[in-house]
Homo-oligomer: A and B are copies of this chain.
Amino acid sequence: MSSIVPKNEGKLTARYASRAALMLPSEIRSLFAVASRPEIVSLAGGMPNLSALPMDVMASVVQKLVLENGTEALQYGSGQGHPKLREQICEIMALEGIRAKGDDIVVTTGSQQALDLITRIFIDPGDVILAEAPSYVGALGVFAQYQANVVHIAMDDKGLIPEALRDAIKTVREAKRKIKFIYLIPNFQNPSGVTMPASRRTEILEICRESEIFVVEDNPYGLLGFDGPTPNAMRSEDSENVIYLGSFSKTIAPGLRVGWALVPQAVKEKLVIANESSVLCPSNFAQLTISGYLANEPWRDQIASFCDLYRDRRDAMLESLDEFFPASATWTRPKGGFYVWVTLPPEIDTKVLVPRAIAAKVAYVPGTAFYADGFGSWQMRLSYCHPTPERIRQGVKALAGVVKEEIDRRSNETPKLTVR
């Protein structure tokens, strides 16, 4: 194909749907090509660390699956997902206090797809979705494609602030706009690393019920707590007003693309139809691989060893932030998951610093990626999941140098005023 856009291609793109204008690459995306270079310490990605996954075990699980049950594993399956895996998912969710039955689960191609399809079912263009400030970049991308308006709600170190939620609901409704749901990541939130305590969960659920707003609880990291028990899932308190999203991407492996939604019965039918329309059925091959692994391997021990691995890395990151980062920066202290959220002095633009960080051989994601409204320019997400503790220290030290240099450079300038 020549470098000149052919006549008909121009025409093709002129025929896009109006939503296509909102299909834009995320800020994270362009960064990843650079961040994956081996000389760069990537504190940017959220790729789980598979070094603790027993590949020999996994290899024998898949081999056995194909030999003994290949005609099922390699065939089309149910649009709702495999019944056996759905029962096993119930056992996993029981660890977080959820009582559910397999029939209320819809298996999806990663929990990302569950989020996409839930949004498809509920969102008309212009509807409002409430979300934490900041929130998961992949969710913001989905919400944009369905032409939703995201309203961010402020967080503190206990997660979403109830008073801020009440205020936002009031403001949005006074403007005669429809709130469809609130999207929350209560455990080890992406990107902030913050976990909502039990009492805060109860309070948020009460506000949502009163206001007739349902909760989409996204919980990919829930089992990856390092420092004692994690509060029960919000879904464990409210089976009618919460849609729960789960994933095997962080507890087993993301390459299988298996997640799920636990939904009220009335929503299930629509979700299965949306799933069928989107992919016909989730992969039997991937689902039965996970099912065989769960049935025959000590997966709780396996998750415990993932936790050990991530705890070491979290510790390395927090220790090196304490050691190297300037006093004017603050950051969260996650008790699980993958991420630390750093706030710099407001005059620092973390997007401007990216090329300098890359030159210093370290990558991170600038804060604006996690807001639908351009906020977060002096914040950044650092992930500790993938590099070794040694590389994390090296990366944080290098990044601290870049940050300090910018703070020094700015120190003689008049600080700009910030509103939020």
Mark A151-167 against chain B: 1 for CB-CB distance below 8 A, else 0: 00000000000000000
Chain B residues contacting A16 (CB-CB under 8 Å) are: 121-122, 270
Q: Give the 10 A-B residue pairs with the shortest CB-CB distance, closest first.
A: A74-B253, A74-B255, A63-B63, A59-B66, A55-B70, A255-B284, A8-B240, A257-B283, A62-B62, A23-B273
**Which A residues between 101 and 122 are near B, CB-CB below 8 angstroms?**
104, 109-110, 112-113, 116, 120-122
Q: How far is the CA of A59 from the CA of B121 in the complex (A)?
A: 38
Residues of B within 8 A of A254 (CB): 74-76, 280
Tell me, in angstroms, the Cα distance from A53 to B70 when the chains sit together.
9
A63 contacts across to B, CB distance below 8 A: 59-60, 62-63
Q: Is the CB of A266 within 8 A of B120?
A: no
Interface SS of A by simple majority: helix
Q: Are the C-beta atoms of A19 and B257 separated by less than 8 Å? A: no
> A66 contacts which of B62, B127, B142, B181 (Cβ < 8 Å)?
B62
Please state if B122 and A15 are interface contacts (CB–CB under 8 Å): yes
Check B29 against A278 for contact (C-beta < 8 Å).
no
Q: How far is the CA of A121 from the CA of B23 in the complex (A)?
A: 8
- Can you pick out 5 interface pairs between chain A and chain B where the beta carbons lie within 8 Å of each other? A20-B121, A25-B273, A77-B255, A116-B278, A257-B280
Tell whether A282 is near chain B: CB-to-CB under 8 Å: yes
Option from B18, B60, B110, B146 in Cβ contact (under 8 Å) with A280: B110
Given known pairs A74-B256, A122-B16, A239-B1, the reply for A278 and B278 (CB within 8 Å) is: yes
| A229-256 Cβ-contact flags toward B at 8 Å (1 or 0) | 0000000000111000000010001111
Interface residue count on the A side (C-beta < 8 Å): 96
Contacts of A214 in B (CB 8 A): 8, 12, 15
Q: What 0/1 pattern do residues 270 to 290 of A give for CB contact below 8 A with B?
A: 100110111111111110010
CB-CB under 8 A for A112 and B50, given A1-B265, A74-B253: no
Given contacts A11-B212, A20-B122, A74-B253, 8 further A-B contacts (CB under 8 A): A9-B264, A19-B120, A23-B121, A53-B74, A141-B277, A142-B277, A255-B283, A285-B286
